[in-house]
Structure 1
Amino acid sequence: MTASTHVRKPGWFTVNVLNRTVAWTTRRGLSVWGSRVLAVRGRKSGEWRTTPVNLLTVDGEQYLVAPRGHVQWTHNMRAAGGGELRLGKKVDAFTATEVADDDKVPLLRAYLKRWKAEVGVFFNGVGPDSSDEELRRIAPDHPVFRITVES
């Protein structure tokens, strides 16, 4: 896809308060604005790794966007080719296909329209009303995966 190494590591408050709170409520079956717990096997350890994510739906298709860039779960997703989305006791196994940079513009726009207040800081001033050119410029920094839930 891209050679970008863009990463925005979360601060202490995000790791220890926000992520844990969202993960806790999501594990109990309460989705916070589309939240799920993503579980994906570690590319080196093979152990399940979990992190809270926002599940984006556009035109009936589901996507995971990495607002913080090329983080551990994105590397693991590329290696594993899929994982699980968890909401309470409901577990959806899925396969993942990475979206090409040129195809990300409408997805990034939709993601920012829904979650800009939560994640906008990670997009360096680009928002849902930014031009296609601005969204295309940041596309390499934000992996996007199309999710296909296994039946």
Structure 2
Amino acid sequence: MSTTPAAHVIKPGWFTVNVVNRSVAWLTRRGVSVWGSRVLAVKGRKSGAWRTTPVNVLTLDGERYLVAPRGHVQWTRNIRAVGGGELHLGKHVEPFTVTEVGDDAKADVLRAYLKRWKAEVGVFFAGVGPDSTDEELRAIAPKHPVFRIDAAPHA
């Protein structure tokens, strides 16, 4: 598991923030999933207030994952601190917990994520793509947190 976050985060551009993210979030809030999109809601680690961001949920070998293409960002810090959150698709809300995937185990997940969404997020992966070697994927793994989505515990 990555214990030291990368020093820099690649910030999305104006178009991504103001057009792509808002459009995907708008559609997802209305129940339309765009290539696995959900709105992730996580309680802030300091404020306790709910924070939301659009995410792509990857399904691989019967497991679901959240990958942080932009690196160690606020939602990754919050989800580590609180241990889970909610995935929203329209009015459907799915509470969940997470298990962070260790860097050595990320290659297959990153490869599958890039195979599906490279056109959208490839710029954040420093030239590494779905056809890259395991060694190349492991080299960038510390910069991209990966969380396995687990079912929420029953109350």
Give the TM-score normalised by structure 1.
0.97
Q: Pick from 33, 36, 61: which aligns with 2:35?
A: 33
For the pair 1:83 / 2:88, whether they are aligned, the reply is: no
Q: 1:49 aligns with which of 51, 67, 72?
A: 51
* 4+ residue runs over 6 A deviation: none
Match of 2:19 in 1: 17
Query: What does residue 107 of structure 2 align with?
Result: 105
Name which of structure 1's ranges 1-10 and 60-69 shifts more when overlaid on structure 2: 1-10
Report the counterpart of residue 94 of structure 2 in structure 1. Answer: 92
Pairs aligned (count): 151
Q: Show CA shifts across 1:28-75 (max 9, x none).
A: 000000000000000111000000000000111010000000000000
TM-score of the superposed pair, with normalisation by structure 2: 0.95
CA RMSD in angstroms comes to: 0.9
What secondary structure, in the 3-state scheme, does the structure 2 residue paired with 1:9 have? coil
Post-superposition offset of 1:16: 1.2
SS in 2 for 1:67: coil
Gaps of 5+ in 1: none
The superposition leaves residues 101-151 of structure 1 with CA deviations (integer Å, 9 ceiling, x where unpaired) of 000000000000110111001001000000111000000000000001226
Give the letter for the 1:138 counterpart: I
**Structure 2 unaligned runs (5+)?**
none
Amino acid at match of 1:69: G
